[in-house]
Structure 1
Amino acid sequence: MPEDPSTATLLIGGEWRTADATFEVVDPATLEPVARAADAGPREALAALDAACAAFPAWRDTAAEERATALGAAAARIRAGADSLAALMTAENGKPLAEARGEIMSSARMLDWAAEEGRRASGRVTPRAGGGLVLRAPVGPALAITPWNFPASMLVRKAGLALAAGCPVIVKPAEQTPLVGTELVRLIADGLPPGVLQSITTTRPKDVVDALLADRRLRKVSFTGSTDVGLGLLRSTADHLRRTSLEMGGHSPAIVLDDADLPAAAAGVAAAKFANAGQSCIAVNRLFVQRPVYDAFLPLLLERVAALRPGHGADEGTTLGPLIDFAGLDKVERHVADAVKRGASVAAGGRRWEPPRPGLAGAFYEPTVLTGADDTMLISTEETFGPVLPVYVFDEDGEAVERANATDYGLAAYVFGSGLARVWRTVDRLDFGVVAVNEPFPVRPELPFGGTKNSGQEREGGSEGIDAYLESKSVSMRL
């Protein structure tokens, strides 16, 4: 254990290190310092890759059972430390403590799932006539680039699958939230061979990532973040191919059919929209309500929104934390102003939230509902990433699906209704990688997660998740 764990946030070759420079991590609710972290550069990144390459042969040859046992033990340590990990996440991310603890516990379940998938990642024997073997082998050293909005679950999901498959992995947490990622790496790396799991914190992500991408020894990149950055990572494969998993932006629709359970739908929409202050790639960004139930549904939704309580995530009763920074707040305000200018009405919220107590200086915004929205507004065409929900009216089911699909993104969608055939038809026609029916939280370890179109490629989770870290090798034999 390093003498100063607040700045020794680089795990390289089994050793915790500092760097020549450090950076400050702030509480987004108060803008007060939380800690300092090591600010790595290309030199440290390449040292981590050296260590990963050195560790690869032995980790590749380690029995799947042994890898799974190590990951299962790490999941138990995460559960044991859930309270302190959640408090750390709230301090640097701002989300309410209950949400943070839920994410930590979800991370432990993801690690358990990865362990079991490692046990099941076997090849096959083909039929005797013209037969042979199909072997599965880890792709090699991997880089996991994780986001600030879910700094625990995204890190664990990527690292767990890589490690279960036999790939050493270098984790690069987001600069806004390096602390909980570092602590999770400590818990997972305990007992692993040096170089198998490493962590790089930095405020120079482009320099660090570019140095790694220029090295052909890096065989896999898994990224969660903005579409622009993700497409840039894909362009880096123009000269030499590298397995690249991308989970990028979303513009999620929710469709409330006229046979839906309206109170349950209102609760589900509010939960799917306002969790993490709307800062989620699968948050509902566009709500389509069928005309016959619109007047009955809207008051139910507004009642749910009125019950939300902004504040510091560690304060009792808080259900809505701040935005991560003021750039995010500026975008929210720009989208609301444009919508109102184009004819939308503010049914709830619509402005910055003024804290009732001193000390809260962060980028708070009231939970907001806009009615009278149309498909030409900025909020209809761009991901807002904040606590603002535009509501649209539709008449026919096919119209709702067509408007929901009218986006370059295809990560998640939500359907609320009761008729099985009707719901199934709607789900089948939605062009999204993840669809939730009558529930707000469609992410779980057992299901593959990922999008279509500009929302990404490949999948994490489910039985498909480990495939992103494995290559298939065909063996035809005559003995």
Structure 2
Amino acid sequence: MYINGEWVKTNEWMEVTNPATGETIGSVPIITHKQMDLVINSAELAFHEWKRLSVYERAAYLHKWYELIDKNAEEIARVLTMEQGKPLKEALGEVHYANSFLEWYKEEGKRMYGETIPSQFREKRILIQKQPIGVVAAITPWNFPAAMITRKVAPALVAGCTIIIKPASQTPLTALLLAKYGHEAGIPKGVLNVITGKSSLIGDNLLQDPRVKKLTFTGSTEIGKQLMAQAATTVKKVSLELGGHAPFIVFEDANIEKAVKGAIQSKFRNAGQTCICANRIFVHESIHSTFIERFVEEVKKLKIGNGLNSQSDIGPLIDLSARNKVQSQIKDAIENGGLIHCGGRVVADNFLEPTVISNVKDEMMVMTEETFGPVAPIATFRNEDEVVNRANNSPYGLAAYFYTESLSRMYRVTESLEYGIIGVNDAAPSTAQAPFGGLKESGIGREGSHYGLDEYVEVKYVSISI
């Protein structure tokens, strides 16, 4: 682990395996109670020095870190593929995407402006200051083990906070490699920490300790609710990026080729293991047959295999539990009248063929539960109001997509969909300078953009009588 600027071991270890092969590729320590207190204390002590640096000094550290990650992107991508499974070309794309947050925030931090507000009294002045919140606990997921770290760390560090990162147990090696390059960039000890071990021990300690002022978490809605409840005991600030069940709507006036390309890109990236991937595809009944024919044609071209193989488009699911969940959704769809056009079979332990199912009903598991796998259910609709209501009929509100050539419809539908991120003729909306986050049970707060910076500061009001 990386604690207070040093590499730390314990007597207990847990293995990290490659989901494509089942091979053990490394081991990481299981943190102890004593070390938990050490890391929190170190981050707290470092905070008082780190926050006193000018934002330009903090940004300079981020810039050095950015350069080292850029220089070693291929090494990081290879480790990422080995422990997470996604194709190497996707892993490399993720590393560059992750690095874009360091690049963005090293500049955006310099614009963390306060305000002067006019007073109604001649003898008073009103000042608004933004100051770093303190020690941050960041709990990150396995599906994007690089990007979900930098999207949290970059704004936290440039704002003046220190951070303790707990990566997913399936993918800790990428996090530790990022910490290595942060260390080489000269980030002062205690500012950046990466710990590994039992989630219950780590979570309980981070959330119960009043020295930790902020929790940022990306993961399932179920776990997010539990963490939010625990954080309430010390009234921590929280930002949660939780589950999604994205609708992907293809209207009758859509460019079908663009829509097919977008659906492939959104649905099958990372084998469908993304929180914003297309999970429910709605196609207007007048173009339904044409869309399915072209979509299936393109899906059949996708190659399944070990992510280290440069020809692979679809890697493994993260583990057998994930595979079993996806299989149960396929089985439920078939038993209730769904028609499989391609895929549906297990190729190897964690590998599942990309699957297209039509004649789906809104009550099926695949249309009501987050899938996190390479399954594309396609339903039909008759009109705009109907499909918007069906798209909104979900506790989730993270991302939604629709394809249309109508400017009027673009405004109507974007204003009607209850989602925090909407892609209009765009299946890849994520970018460092835009706010990422959801509505309803998909989370609280935003990551990326200047809104993401605000998640790591406290607003202080100063009233001055002159």
TM band (smaller chain) = over 0.9
Quote the Cα distance in structure 1 between the aligned partners of 2:327 and 2:290. 28
Secondary structure of 2:27's aligned partner: strand
What pairs up with 1:129-168 in 2 under 5 angstroms? 129-130=120-121, 131-168=125-162
> Which residue number in structure 2 is paired with residue 105 of structure 1?
96
- Residue 237 of structure 1 deviates from its aligned partner by 3.1
Per the alignment, residue 30 of structure 2 pairs with 39
The question of whether the paired residues in 2 share the 8 Å contact of 1:13 and 1:51 is answered with yes
Report whether the alignment pairs 1:382 with 2:369. yes
Identity, % of aligned pairs?
40
Q: What residue identity is the alignment partner of 1:329?
A: R
Residue 191 of structure 1 is matched in structure 2 by: 186
2:417 corresponds in structure 1 to: 430
Question: Partner of 1:287: helix, strand, or coil?
Answer: strand
- Contact 1:450-1:457 at 8 Å conserved across structures: yes
TM-score (norm 1): 0.95
**Residue type at the aligned position of 1:14:** G
Q: Structure 2 matches for 1:307-322, cutoff 5 A?
A: 307-322=301-316
Matched, 1:237 2:231: yes
Pick one of 59, 71, 82 that aligns with 2:73.
82
Correspondence for 2:382:
395
The answer to which of 121-130 and 26-35 deviates more is 121-130
Find the aligned partners of 2:63 and 2:137 in 1 and give their Cα distance. Answer: 22
Query: Any stretches of 5+ residues in structure 2 without a counterpart?
Result: none
State the shift of 1:350 in Å: 1.1
> What is the Cα deviation at residue 128 of structure 1?
5.2
Q: Does 1:457 align with 2:449?
A: no
Tell me the amino acid that sits aligned with residue 236 of structure 1: Q
Q: What is the distance in 1 between the residues matched to 2:224 and 2:148?
A: 15
Residue aligning to 1:358: none
Q: 2 CA distance for matches of 1:83 and 1:17?
A: 26
The residue type paired with residue 68 of structure 2 is R
CA distance in 2, matches of 1:146, 1:185: 14
Per-residue deviation at 1:416?
A: 0.8
Distance 2:112 2:292 in 1: 48
Shift of 1:64: 0.3
Q: Which residue of 1 aligns with 2:57?
A: 66
- Distance in 2, matches of 1:69 and 1:369, equals 48
RMSD: 1.0
Distance in 2, matches of 1:132 and 1:143, equals 32
- Alpha-carbon distance, 1:188 to partner: 2.1
Separation in 2 of the partners of 1:187 and 1:434? 32
Q: Which residue of 1 aligns with 2:401?
A: 414
Q: Is residue 2:19 matched to residue 1:28?
A: yes
Residue matched to 1:359: none
Q: One-letter code of the match for 2:76?
A: L
Secondary structure at the residue paired with 1:459?
coil
CA distance in 2, matches of 1:43, 1:268: 49
SS in structure 2 of the partner of residue 331 of structure 1: helix
Partner residue, 1:201: 196
CA contact (8 A) 2:340 2:356 kept: yes
Instruction: Give the partner amino acid of 2:245.
Output: H
Contact 2:89 2:310 in 1 (8 A): no
1:371 to partner: Cα distance = 0.3
Structure 1 regions of 5+ residues with no counterpart? 1-9, 355-361
1:335 aligns with 2:329: yes
